[in-house]
């Protein structure tokens, strides 16, 4: 989307006819003697991608027209005609009757062309004191600001759903894992709330990103500002921007706000992918901790027994798309001289696809969490197998006066003995346990259950039920 410059014809066109007569003559084509090649038009056109910005483009143009009239740069009558014409064009687009043209390259020129067709010469005055460079920067910020708020709401919705599921299964115990090996008993709720913490950080990053998106660039012109007595603060207030950009060169060339959003989206997708991976694992017969609803799975074209977890697998897979979009934007931007370059047209597909992928994935994971069928007996059985209470035995011995390293060694010997016997620690007699450590008394059995292991971890942030209840209360579920 190259610079349009200010439209300053030598004479006032009559009803704009000389500006709209034929698609081979661009609105900004006075410099050129030859018609643009159709292959070049097709190659450079972005209208198929950026047409979704029509609402934002029209909103920015209405604010700009009002400012021009308020500053007496154009007449109040022309300003009113422009605003009415733009609103009529928005209705045409939303009714599906607007004729988009690749010859007009982008959403800005499609709308301006139609405006001149509708209201004549007054339409040609809209572009006074602005460039497509600051115009597209404004549109992108308006678009992303709106989407960031929607995405933040979806993150909140997923947090609430995880919180509700955690509350529903508050007493369920499962094995916690390190290295994908059973490690210690934890509450299933505590495990789910780990994802709430991740999402809370994602939310904070989204809001922090929003603060830098919410800067008004219009009035920067092509790169050097404008000679007209514009009131940028007034335009910013009309469009709800708390502040305006401070450097015109930076304002038209800056895409840091896109990089920041897509990087935040990439981190968010790391979290969604991890959650999706656990759904895949937990729903296997090997784990058998949960069952995914049939309506979120597919069958096999060959194997009748299969129930494939396609939804979490696709969420996991889509993380690669988001990471790729981040690399695309970094690559586009990393070698550009100041200020605007046409390369920046390539920022839209990565941005738009990231936004849509994030929204759809948050929605589908939220719905899937809501419909999960949890299998508490299987989780508890897994938490009781594999000597997950060995740490409890070590902690018990520390309470009896041993150093933790000595207690760790004793507990390891107990595990080795159990492995040789094919028994659990809690199945050993007191006499057997005392042969391994005379420090052990009958009360040790009260320490060895999964319930006791969970209940005793009361330190802030631990898996104890009282901690989990407190956190759920903080979350309002």
- Active site amino acids: 179, 300
| E-state strands within 110-265 | 173-178, 181-187, 215-216, 243-244
Residue 477 near residue 156 (C-beta atoms within 8 A): no
Residue 82 near residue 126 (C-beta atoms within 8 A): yes
Return phi, psi of residue 375, to 5°: -115, 85
**Distant-in-sequence, close-in-space partners of 72: CB < 8 Å, separation ≥ 6:** none
Among 352, 259, 286, residue whose Cα is nearest residue 46: 352
Q: Is the dihedral of CA 371, 376, 377, 383 positive or negative?
A: positive
Rounded CA-CA distance 131/219 in Å is 8
Strand 243-244 versus strand 290-291 pairing type: unpaired
> What's the chain's length in residues?
477
Rounded CA-CA distance 406/387 in Å is 18
- 3-state SS class at 174: strand
Helix axes 188-213, 256-282, angle to 10 degrees: 170
Among 237, 235, 241, residue whose Cα is nearest residue 212: 241
Placement of tokens 């690559």 in the chain: 331
Structure token pair of residue 260: 């920041």
Strand 181-187 versus strand 243-244 pairing type: unpaired
**Which residues lie across from 276 on neighbouring strands?**
none
Beta-carbon count within 10 A of 80 CB: 14
Helix axes 188-213, 465-475, angle to 10 degrees: 30
Q: Alpha carbon of 136 to those of 2, 110, 118, 139, 173: distances in Å?
A: 10, 13, 23, 5, 53
Question: For the chain, what percentages of helix, strand and coil (3-state, to nearest 5) are there?
Answer: 65, 5, 30
Rounded CA-CA distance 316/299 in Å is 19
């Amino acid at each position: 989307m190259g610079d349009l410059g200010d439209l300053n014809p030598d004479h006032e066109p009559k009803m704009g006819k000389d500006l709209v007569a034929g698609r081979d003559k661009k609105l900004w084509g006075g410099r050129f003697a030859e018609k643009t090649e159709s292959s070049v038009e097709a190659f450079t056109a972005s209208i198929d991608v950026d047409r979704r910005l029509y609402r934002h483009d029209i909103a920015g143009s209405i604010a700009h027209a009002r400012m021009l009239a308020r500053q007496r740069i154009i007449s109040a009558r022309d300003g009113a005609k422009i605003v009415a014409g733009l609103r009529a064009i928005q209705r045409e687009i939303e009714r599906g009757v607007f004729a988009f043209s690749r010859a007009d390259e982008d959403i800005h020129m499609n709308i301006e062309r139609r405006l001149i067709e509708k209201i004549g010469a007054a339409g040609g005055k809209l572009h006074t004191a602005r460039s497509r460079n600051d115009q597209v920067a404004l549109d992108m910020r308006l678009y992303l600001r709106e989407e960031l708020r929607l995405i933040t709401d979806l993150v909140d919705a997923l947090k609430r759903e995880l919180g509700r599921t955690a509350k529903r299964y508050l007493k369920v115990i499962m094995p916690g894992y390190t290295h994908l090996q059973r490690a210690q008993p934890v509450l299933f709720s505590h495990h789910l709330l780990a994802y709430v913490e991740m999402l809370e950080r994602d939310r904070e990053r989204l809001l922090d990103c929003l603060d830098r998106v919410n800067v008004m660039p219009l009035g920067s012109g092509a790169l050097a500002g404008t000679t007209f007595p514009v009131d940028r603060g007034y335009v910013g207030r009309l469009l709800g921007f708390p502040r305006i950009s401070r450097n015109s060169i930076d304002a038209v060339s800056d895409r840091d706000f896109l990089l920041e959003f897509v990087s935040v989206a990439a981190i968010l997708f790391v979290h969604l992918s991890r959650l999706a991976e656990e759904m895949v694992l937990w729903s296997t017969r090997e784990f058998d901790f949960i069952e995914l609803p049939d309506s979120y799975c597919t069958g096999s074209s060959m194997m009748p027994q299969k129930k494939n977890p396609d939804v979490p697998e696709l969420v996991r897979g889509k993380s690669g798309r988001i990471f790729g979009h981040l690399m695309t934007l970094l690559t586009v931007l990393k070698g550009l001289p100041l200020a605007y370059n046409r390369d920046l047209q390539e920022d839209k597909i990565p941005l738009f696809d990231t936004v849509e992928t994030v929204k759809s994935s948050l929605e589908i994971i939220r719905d899937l969490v809501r419909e999960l069928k949890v299998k508490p007996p299987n989780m508890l059985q897994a938490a009781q197998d594999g000597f997950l209470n060995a740490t409890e035995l070590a902690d018990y011995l520390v309470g009896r006066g041993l150093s933790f390293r000595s207690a760790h060694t004793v507990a390891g010997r107990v595990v080795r003995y159990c492995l040789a016997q094919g028994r659990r620690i809690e199945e050993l007699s007191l006499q057997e346990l005392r042969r391994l450590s005379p420090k052990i008394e009958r009360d040790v059995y009260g320490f060895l259950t999964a319930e006791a292991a969970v209940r005793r971890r009361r330190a802030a942030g631990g898996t104890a039920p009282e901690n989990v209840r407190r956190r759920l209360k903080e979350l309002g579920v």
